[in-house]
Chain A
């Protein structure tokens, strides 16, 4: 038989009375007593002390630490709630990277809404929940205990149950049989409902909130996109800087050297100037190559297809390019696709021993798909280079994926997929 997945389902089950649920309800309600008492004591003492010390800075600091008490209450109460919630309650707190310092951690936790909610729950627990639970569960437990002990008590002394005076063990036993079962039934359901309601409250206040999760995910995604965007902007800035600065100066240098060549008579001096001119040109060519790796101009001005063609033209082996796109895509997506192709073709040329290569790009619904295939030796290991890893991170931020299939003996096939839009 299927185990009930919540206290309410257990209450509705026909096996409720013979299951562990009534006892769990007792345990849950009664265990709220020590926790509740401790909580209210800590909150009261903390409150009084911090108010008393509030003229001093210590008092204020103490007040700001209150949400951390909430975090602690949350941990204990979520653990206790496992009695009533079979799967337990998931923590609403954001997961923090291991690299963050303790100080940063506590600062973040103090400001987290979930911490304040847990603190509120702590107040409720200390003021209302534990006294109520004590009254209800305590009375039921007492009555049940007396009923069970009725034969013994009636044997030792006399026991008054309304108009009925029990004064020997037999009468006590009759009372136990007549009153015990109905009371067990009524009290079990009563306590079950009570405990389930409390657990529900704990879940509502100490568990993660749906919209909170959604908001966190959306914020996370946005911040990653911002990061990718900032990356692009920065690359564009660096490229501009190089173009307007160093490159212009080198061009000026080649012009001056060119003019000097014209004026100098043949001889050692002229030979050296010609050499210097050649070196300046080589520097310009290197710089152009570097700039292409940072922020390719063709990509910005003419889009993915032209840029992929250009990168294919520069490859030492023949590359067949087949790219058909409906139009321009957002810059970060074009850049990601371009660098995938560029990196892949570089790797093919370096490692694959291929004789030919094929780059295809198309859109499938609202996704951009780009594949790079070669007829080389295969056995490419994506973990070996940092290039591919970086691209995967970049694509990941855009909601895209990169798959590499490269069995030993080839062929190698790289497939990139990415949404065509940034906003979703």
Chain B
């Protein structure tokens, strides 16, 4: 309730149109089918089961209407949930901690990226994924700066955003990205690089 109202007011202020604000997964599916929006924002847990109804609704929407971007918010993020989101799709998906909504500018940027078909992954999840691979050979070969760039890439950021974040030039970021892909033996394709990085980290 509280969250829904807060989100609606943030979106309103940013000039987005809030089509509907609903409180359970079934109603969500119904209103999305009736008038498809650009992006659906949903919680992982929803009444009545308070389990992962939101995720299941997201999967259903993705299967029926693949053009709709989906941003999933959660009280708590874990890699285990990411898999059920990424399985069905390669883009137009976001998975963020609810706390991130408070950083309004960044949150709106993430929303735009999802609407454009990009992927957004919470830094917390990326941290978990990197933690798992820390003894791994290829990752150990990356410089600390390259690891930073890799983490930001996994979050779904584009070069410009990474450059801004690290206070370097975009050209420098491009160079780091090139090095990373070479060291990890990954194919570099700009449109698919987030899923390539995530797949690598999760394998």
Contact = CB atoms under 8 A, between A and B. Distances in A.
B176 interface: no
A309 interface: yes
Interface string B86-102: 00000000000011011
A215 interface: no
Nearest to A303: B80
Given A243-B75, A301-B52, A302-B80, A309 B6 contact: no
Contacts of B102: 251, 254-255, 257-258, 277, 280-281
B75 A298 contact: no
- Residue among A247, A297, A300 having the largest count of chain B Cβ atoms under 10 Å: A297
B42 to A, nearest CB: 15
Given A300-B51, A313-B132, A247 B75 contact: yes
A252 B6 contact: yes
B78 interface: yes
Contacts of A288: 75-76
A261 interface: yes
Contacts of A291: 76
Contact of B98 (A240, A244, A251, A261): A251
A261 B99 CA distance: 15
Nearest to A244: B50
A240 B101 contact: no
B81 A301 contact: yes
Interface in A291-310: 291-292, 297-298, 300-302, 306-307, 309-310
A255 B6 contact: yes
A256 interface: yes
Given A255-B10, A288-B75, A310 B80 contact: yes
A313 B6 contact: no
B131 A251 contact: no
Nearest to A305: B80
Interface of A: 240, 243-244, 247-249, 251-252, 254-259, 261-262, 277, 280-281, 284-285, 288, 291-292, 297-298, 300-302, 306-307, 309-310, 312-314, 318
Interface in B78-128: 78-81, 98-99, 101-105, 107, 128
Given A309-B80, A310-B78, A310-B128, A261 B101 contact: no
A25 B21 CA distance: 90
Given A249-B2, A255-B10, A318-B135, A306 B80 contact: yes
A259 B10 CA distance: 7
A368 B156 CA distance: 39
Contacts of A300: 51
Interface in B1-41: 1-3, 6-7, 9-10, 13
Contacts of B132: 309, 312-313
Contact of B51 (A257, A301, A318): A301
7 contacts: A251-B3, A254-B101, A258-B102, A259-B10, A262-B104, A284-B99, A310-B78
A240 B105 CA distance: 30
B65 to A, nearest CB: 25
Nearest to A240: B50
Interface string B46-57: 000011100000
Given A249-B2, A251-B3, A281 B99 contact: yes
B104 to A, nearest CB: 5
B193 interface: no
Contacts of A259: 9-10, 13, 104
A255 B7 contact: yes
A307 B103 CA distance: 29
B157 interface: no
B185 interface: no
Contacts of B104: 255, 258-259, 261-262
B175 interface: no
B88 to A, nearest CB: 16
Contacts of B101: 251, 254-255, 258
B79 A310 contact: yes
B105 A262 contact: yes
A247 to B, nearest CB: 5
A314 B80 CA distance: 14
Given A244-B50, A314-B128, 7 more contacts: A252-B2, A255-B10, A258-B102, A259-B104, A297-B76, A297-B78, A312-B132
Contact of B6 (A240, A256, A262): A256
A291 B135 CA distance: 29
Contacts of B103: 258
Interface in B124-156: 128-129, 131-132, 134-135
A50 to B, nearest CB: 59
Contacts of A313: 79, 128-129, 131-132
Contacts of B52: 301
Nearest to A310: B78
Contacts of B98: 251
- Residue among B10, B80, B132, B135 having the largest count of chain A Cβ atoms under 10 Å: B80
A254 B99 contact: yes
B2 to A, nearest CB: 4
A254 B107 CA distance: 13
Nearest to A320: B135
Q: Which 10 A-B pairs have the closest CB atoms?
A: A254-B102, A258-B102, A306-B80, A255-B6, A252-B2, A302-B80, A313-B128, A313-B131, A258-B104, A251-B98
A259 B102 CA distance: 7
